[in-house]
């Protein structure tokens, strides 16, 4: 028991000792913490003391800086304007929806443009800093849809704003501001200069002329204004341009360039002699101007003085080897000289490389390459030009026209189909019309239906060209040809007259079309006169074709054959000439040659149904009935209403002893064309085959009603009456045969028999 007490006492004593030690340690930490707190308060006190001192110093510096800035803004208005504008822009650009204080906005604008010089017009703009701020300020105005009307600026501010905005290429603001300034001070030269400058940049010649002439009212004898006025009037094609140059001459301030301009004006007016005199005066004063030598050479070319033109052109090239127009002129001049094709090609190559001479130079180069035999290089020249100028409508149209002349119809069609959107050129419409005519030549079926659709499309294309350019003679010529083919002969004559007035004297196309129109009007003599006129500049395939047509109309088949053959020698792909020669061969009973022409036509134009008809007719002529029937069936697959094909197919069935199959095509032919004499005649033969003589006679008489000159039908009628012993009717019928063919021997013999029988019975 005592041991337990002793242990408990020792434990209590140890716990008391530990507690006392813990209290002692806590007391020591508290003392240390209090010491640190005291030190921190003293440190903070010192820090705040120093901070107050620094703040007082900064406030003092800020006050000094503000005073300095205020002083700077007072003595430097440009800086003040910049800071004011910047503050305004920061406020409104960061919050675009914030409404504008119009008075504040106008004040900022006035401060920015206040220092814009007005003496030098648009030559001097605002400072770089002010330019940037003004551009931002105008953008804010645009965002809030402010205009010059809503700003209510005074004349001076509007004037300065207009010049500054013009310098910044903000032409809408510039024009509006200068317009306000002009209303408030209409006689201010700087305002007028600014308005003229903007009109010139806009490319508005009429407005440019208005402001330029307004400036000239203030300073009528200013040489620069007179010179600018003259050049502007020249570009506008105004005849008053010469008066402006004359004023320079009267003032005694005209230069060689002015006299050169005067020469150009006189050349445009058709007074080439006076133009040459003026340019010679300019060259005497200053022979170092290459453009004057070029102009002199061009005038000489127009006068037909090609040798002198070449000499003048060489002077131009001596002064400026990079003058593309001079190279183009040299190429033209040399191309007309014999044995100078190689030099002409070099000059044309230079011109094209320099981008001069336009489409004419490109085509001249291609033609010269063709003369050398470089057909591939010629084609590459044109394709390369088109690749570099895909939006050049004239180039594309002329290339397509070239393809049509070469009978590359599909290539022309592909070229037109690949025309980029947005191009609308009169020549493109014209060549489209020519393309429709070329398709019409190759898709004819003899019924007129296919032709009519394509011809109407051509008519639309040519009228589209004339909508864009009423003075385009090629479009009038194409329109005349289309109207002639549609049978509108009177209208075609009017269109052809327009084409003739607008066309070149050396162009034989108009004379050729006039000859064809005269033929359609039945005037063979006029057609001969026109074709003679066309051949003044040399015979070509078209004139030979027309002469063939004239001979055919006159019934001179051998002469027609000669001319058509001549045409095909010059142009083996001439569709109509070969088609007509095929018909002439048939008329001369040379069916084998007609077959050859028909097969050639089908090789050239597989869809030319009328050539297949000719081939079938030729097969019938040599009794190849089965081959003929196949050709007519082929035509009827695409044109089941083709009356001639139906009639000829029935004739083939009759000749092949398949008469029972002939009735259906004959009935269809007569349903389609009740006035088709050949179908009535053929059905009459069909009825005769089956001994249905009354129906046969009725159909023969119907054939005669449709065609009074149908000799075969009249023979059948006469033979019918003669065979039945109806001598009076037979006599009348044989006389009718002789009225068609007075030398018909059988008709004469049978008529004599009738007359003898009638005399006996009398």
Q: What is the pLDDT of residues 325-381, one digit of tens each?
A: 999 989 998 988 888 889 989 999 999 999 888 899 999 999 999 988 889 999 999
Neighbours of 41 (CB within 10 A): 10
d(CA 699, CA 689): 13
SS (H, E, C) 672-725: HCCCCHHHHHHHHHHHHHCCCHHHHHHHHHHHHHHCCCCHHHHHHHHHHHHHCC
Claim to verify: residue 165 and residue 96 sit in the same structural domain: yes
Claim to verify: residue 467 and residue 508 sit in the same structural domain: no
Helix, strand, coil shares of the chain, percent, nearest 5, are 80, 0, 20
Most confident of 218-227, 290-299, 490-499: 490-499
Claim to verify: residue 487 and residue 544 sit in the same structural domain: no
CB 197 within 8 A of CB 122: yes
pLDDT for 75 equals 45
Domain count for the chain: 5
What single-letter DSSP state applies at residue 224?
A: H
> Sign of the C-alpha dihedral, residues 15, 18, 24, 26?
negative
pLDDT for 578 equals 94
Claim to verify: residue 157 and residue 91 sit in the same structural domain: yes
Which element (helix H / strand E) includes 357? none
Q: What is the mean pLDDT of residues 689-693?
A: 89
pLDDT for 90 equals 63
> Sign of the C-alpha dihedral, residues 470, 472, 473, 474?
negative
Among residues 588, 613, 642, the one where a domain terminates is 588
Whether residue 409 lies inside any domain: the answer is: no
User: Residue 710 above 50 pLDDT?
Assistant: yes
- Domain with residue 638: its CATH number is 1.25.40.10
Please choose, from the candidates 114, 124, 127, the residue with its C-alpha nearest in 3D space to the C-alpha of residue 153.
114
CB 511 within 8 A of CB 534: yes
Please choose, from the candidates 303, 294, 419, the residue with its C-alpha nearest in 3D space to the C-alpha of residue 356.
294
CB 141 within 8 A of CB 99: no
Q: What is the mean pLDDT of residues 227-253?
A: 57
User: Residue 630 above 50 pLDDT?
Assistant: yes
Please choose, from the candidates 485, 364, 506, the residue with its C-alpha nearest in 3D space to the C-alpha of residue 433.
485
Whether residue 453 lies inside any domain: the answer is: yes
Claim to verify: residue 120 and residue 137 sit in the same structural domain: yes
Q: What would you measure as the largest C-alpha separation in the chain, in angstroms?
A: 200
Sequential DSSP letters for 464-476: HHHHH-TT-HHHH
Whether residue 330 lies inside any domain: the answer is: no
d(CA 575, CA 583): 13
Buried b (16+ CB within 10 A) or exposed e, 152-174: ebeebbbbbbbbbbbbbebeebb
Claim to verify: residue 126 and residue 192 sit in the same structural domain: yes
User: Residue 230 above 80 pLDDT?
Assistant: no
What single-letter DSSP state applies at residue 100?
A: P
Neighbours of 403 (CB within 10 A): 22
Q: What is the pLDDT of residues 423-469, one digit of tens each?
A: 889 999 999 999 999 998 888 877 766 678 889 999 999 999 999 98
Cβ-Cβ contacts under 8 Å for 279 (sequence gap 6 or more): 259, 260, 263, 292, 295, 296, 299
Claim to verify: residue 582 and residue 596 sit in the same structural domain: no
Claim to verify: residue 580 and residue 634 sit in the same structural domain: no
* Percent of the chain's residues with pLDDT above 90: 38
Claim to verify: residue 667 and residue 619 sit in the same structural domain: yes
Among residues 478, 503, 528, the one where a domain terminates is 503
Q: What is the mean pLDDT of residues 251-265?
A: 51
Whether residue 704 lies inside any domain: the answer is: no
User: Residue 269 above 50 pLDDT?
Assistant: no
- Domain with residue 459: its CATH number is 1.25.40
Residue keyed to tokens 């009825």: 687
Claim to verify: residue 619 and residue 583 sit in the same structural domain: no
Cβ-Cβ contacts under 8 Å for 748 (sequence gap 6 or more): 738
Pull the structure tokens for residue 484.
């002639």
pLDDT for 373 equals 86
d(CA 717, CA 706): 15
Claim to verify: residue 601 and residue 565 sit in the same structural domain: no
Whether residue 559 lies inside any domain: the answer is: yes
Task: Band the pLDDT of 271: cuts 50, 70, 90.
Answer: very low
Backbone angles phi, psi at 63, to 5 degrees: -60, -40
User: Residue 101 above 90 pLDDT?
Assistant: no
Whether residue 353 lies inside any domain: the answer is: no
Whether residue 410 lies inside any domain: the answer is: no
pLDDT for 74 equals 47
Low-confidence winner among 191-205, 595-609, 710-724 (lowest mean pLDDT): 191-205
Task: Band the pLDDT of 527: cuts 50, 70, 90.
Answer: very high
What single-letter DSSP state applies at residue 657?
A: T
Q: What is the pLDDT of residues 42-95, one digit of tens each?
A: 667 676 666 666 666 555 555 555 454 454 444 455 555 556 666 666 666 666
Q: Look over the chain and give the mean of its residue pLDDT values, rounded to a whole number.
A: 81
What single-letter DSSP state applies at residue 101?
A: -
Q: What is the pLDDT of residues 405-425, one digit of tens each?
A: 888 999 999 999 998 888 889
CB 601 within 8 A of CB 608: yes
d(CA 422, CA 164): 36
Among residues 443, 477, 503, the one where a domain terminates is 503
CA distances from 234 to 48, 228, 230, 701 (A): 85, 10, 6, 76
* Percent of the chain's residues with pLDDT above 70: 74
d(CA 137, CA 702): 94
Low-confidence winner among 24-33, 107-116, 470-479, 721-730 (lowest mean pLDDT): 107-116
CA distances from 601 to 450, 617, 622 (A): 18, 15, 20
CB 256 within 8 A of CB 286: yes
pLDDT for 616 equals 94
d(CA 83, CA 583): 95
CA distances from 450 to 446, 568, 642 (A): 9, 25, 12
d(CA 67, CA 65): 5
Neighbours of 630 (CB within 10 A): 16
User: Residue 21 above 80 pLDDT?
Assistant: no
Whether residue 287 lies inside any domain: the answer is: no
Sequential DSSP letters for 29-87: HHHHHHHHHHHHHHHHHHHHHHHHHHHHHHHHHHHHHHHHHHHHHHH-HHHHHHHHHHH
CA distances from 186 to 195, 204, 246, 723 (A): 11, 21, 29, 109
d(CA 428, CA 199): 33
Claim to verify: residue 519 and residue 581 sit in the same structural domain: yes
Residue keyed to tokens 């190849």: 624
Please choose, from the candidates 66, 327, 485, the residue with its C-alpha nearest in 3D space to the C-alpha of residue 313.
327
Please choose, from the candidates 695, 630, 626, the residue with its C-alpha nearest in 3D space to the C-alpha of residue 667.
695
Task: Band the pLDDT of 270: cuts 50, 70, 90.
Answer: very low
Look up the domain containing 510 and give its range: 504-588
User: DSSP alpha helices (H): ranges in 486-556?
Assistant: 489-502, 509-520, 524-534, 541-553
CA–CA–CA angle 413, 418, 420 (5° rounding): 140
CA distances from 591 to 81, 579, 598, 608 (A): 101, 13, 10, 19
pLDDT for 584 equals 94
pLDDT for 254 equals 52
CA distances from 516 to 63, 348, 487, 489, 575 (A): 102, 37, 12, 11, 16
Cβ-Cβ contacts under 8 Å for 268 (sequence gap 6 or more): 237
pLDDT for 54 equals 61
User: DSSP alpha helices (H): ranges in 588-692?
Assistant: 591-604, 609-621, 625-638, 643-655, 663-672, 677-689
Q: Which residue has the higher pLDDT, 423 or 683?
A: 683
SS (H, E, C) 538-587: CCCHHHHHHHHHHHHHCCCHHHHHHHHHHHHHHCCCCHHHHHHHHHHHHH
Rg of the chain, C-alpha, whole Å? 49
């Amino acid at each position: 028991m005592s041991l337990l007490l002793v242990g408990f006492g020792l434990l209590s004593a140890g716990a008391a000792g530990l507690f006392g030690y813990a209290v002692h340690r806590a007391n020591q930490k508290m003392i240390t913490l209090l010491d640190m707190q005291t030190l921190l308060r003293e440190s903070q006190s010192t820090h705040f003391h120093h901070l107050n001192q620094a703040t007082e110093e900064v406030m003092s510096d800020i006050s000094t800086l503000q005073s300095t800035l205020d002083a700077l803004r007072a003595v430097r208005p440009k800086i003040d304007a910049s800071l004011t504008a910047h503050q305004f822009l920061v406020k409104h650009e960061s919050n675009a929806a914030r409404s504008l204080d119009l008075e504040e906005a106008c004040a900022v604008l006035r401060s920015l443009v206040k220092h814009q010089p007005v003496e030098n017009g648009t030559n001097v703009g605002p400072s770089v800093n002010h330019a940037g701020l003004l551009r931002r300020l105008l953008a804010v105005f645009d965002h809030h849809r402010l205009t010059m009307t809503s700003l209510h600026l005074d004349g001076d501010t509007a004037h300065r704003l207009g010049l500054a905005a013009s310098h910044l290429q903000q032409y809408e603001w510039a024009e509006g501001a200068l317009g306000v300034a002009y209303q408030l001070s209409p006689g201010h030269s700087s305002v007028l200069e600014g308005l003229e400058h903007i009109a010139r940049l806009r490319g508005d010649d009429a407005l440019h002329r208005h402001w330029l002439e307004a400036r000239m009212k203030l300073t009528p004898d200013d040489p620069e204004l007179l010179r600018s006025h003259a050049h502007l009037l020249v570009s506008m094609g105004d005849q008053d341009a010469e008066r402006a140059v004359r004023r320079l001459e009267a003032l005694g301030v005209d230069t060689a360039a002015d006299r050169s301009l005067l020469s150009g004006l006189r050349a445009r007016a058709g007074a080439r002699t006076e133009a040459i005199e003026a340019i010679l005066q300019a060259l005497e004063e200053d022979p170092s101007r290459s453009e004057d030598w070029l102009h002199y050479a061009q005038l000489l070319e127009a006068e037909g003085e090609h040798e002198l033109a070449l000499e003048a052109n060489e002077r131009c090239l001596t002064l400026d080897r990079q003058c593309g127009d001079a190279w183009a002129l040299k190429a033209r001049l040399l191309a007309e000289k014999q044995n100078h094709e190689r030099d002409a090609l070099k000059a044309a190559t230079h011109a094209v490389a320099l981008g001069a001479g336009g489409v004419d130079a490109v085509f001249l180069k291609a033609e010269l390459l063709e003369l050398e035999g470089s057909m591939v290089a010629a084609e590459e020249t044109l394709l390369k030009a088109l690749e570099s100028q895909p939006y050049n409508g004239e180039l594309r149209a002329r290339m397509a026209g070239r393809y049509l002349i070469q009978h590359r119809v599909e290539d022309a069609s592909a070229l037109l189909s690949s025309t980029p959107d947005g191009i609308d050129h009169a020549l493109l419409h014209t060549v489209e019309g020519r393309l429709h005519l070329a398709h019409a030549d190759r898709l004819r079926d003899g019924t007129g239906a296919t032709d009519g659709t394509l011809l109407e499309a051509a008519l639309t294309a040519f009228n589209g060209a004339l909508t864009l350019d009423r003075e385009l003679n090629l479009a009038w010529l194409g329109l005349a040809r289309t109207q002639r083919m549609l049978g509108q002969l009177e209208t075609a004559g009017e269109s052809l007259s327009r084409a003739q007035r607008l066309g070149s004297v050396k162009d034989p196309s108009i004379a050729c079309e006039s000859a064809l129109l005269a033929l359609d009007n039945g005037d063979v003599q006029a057609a001969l006169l026109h074709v003679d006129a066309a051949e003044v500049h040399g015979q070509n395939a078209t004139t030979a074709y027309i002469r063939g047509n004239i001979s055919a109309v006159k019934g001179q088949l051998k002469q027609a054959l000669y001319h058509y053959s001549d045409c095909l020698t010059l142009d083996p792909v001439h569709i109509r000439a070969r088609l007509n020669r095929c018909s002439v061969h048939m008329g001369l009973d040379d069916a084998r040659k007609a077959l050859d022409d028909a097969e050639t036509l089908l090789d050239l134009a597989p869809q030319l149904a009328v050539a297949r008809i000719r081939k079938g007719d030729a097969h019938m002529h040599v009794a190849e009935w089965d081959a003929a029937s196949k050709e007519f069936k082929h035509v009827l697959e695409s044109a089941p209403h083709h009356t001639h094909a139906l009639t000829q197919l029935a004739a083939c069935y009759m000749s092949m002893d398949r008469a029972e199959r002939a009735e259906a095509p004959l009935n269809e032919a007569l349903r389609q064309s009740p006035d088709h004499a050949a179908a009535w005649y053929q059905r009459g033969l069909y009825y005769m085959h089956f001994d249905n003589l009354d129906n046969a006679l009725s159909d023969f008489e119907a054939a005669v009603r449709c065609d009074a000159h149908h000799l075969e039908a009249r023979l059948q009628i006469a033979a019918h009456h003669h065979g039945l012993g109806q001598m009076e009717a037979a006599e009348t019928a044989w006389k009718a045969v002789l009225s068609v063919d007075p030398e018909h021997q059988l008709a004469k013999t049978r008529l004599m028999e009738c007359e003898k029988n009638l005399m006996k019975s009398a």
